[in-house]
Amino acid sequence: METSTINCSEVCVDGCIQPDRCAGQPHIESASKFINDTPLDKMHEIAEEARRKKMSAPPVWVIPEWD
């Protein structure tokens, strides 16, 4: 199987079936590096800033389209 033809969210539920050609591998490595290199206090600061930014943003209204 080609990586582009696999829907990983359905096929790889029990684990990656192509670990050597996994499309998410670069993201996994960068996330692991961030977790290992960033102190927990800094992660809390990042999360708090994101929360403040979201709370100060104007509300977004989603109006469903009726057919």
11-47 pLDDT, tens digit per residue, is 888 888 887 888 778 888 899 999 999 999 999 999 9
Q: What is the pLDDT of residues 41-67, one digit of tens each?
A: 999 999 999 999 999 999 888 888 886
Name the helix (H) or strand (E) containing 52. Answer: helix 40-56
Rounded Cα distance between 28 and 47, Å, is: 20
Burial 30-42 (b: 16+ CB within 10 A, else e): eeeeeeeeeeeee
What pTM, to 2 d.p., does this model score?
0.56
Locate 11 and state its tokens: 């096929």
Count CB atoms within 10 A of the CB of residue 6. 17
User: Could you give the angle at the alpha carbon of 9 between the alpha carbons of 25 and 47, nearest 5°?
Assistant: 65
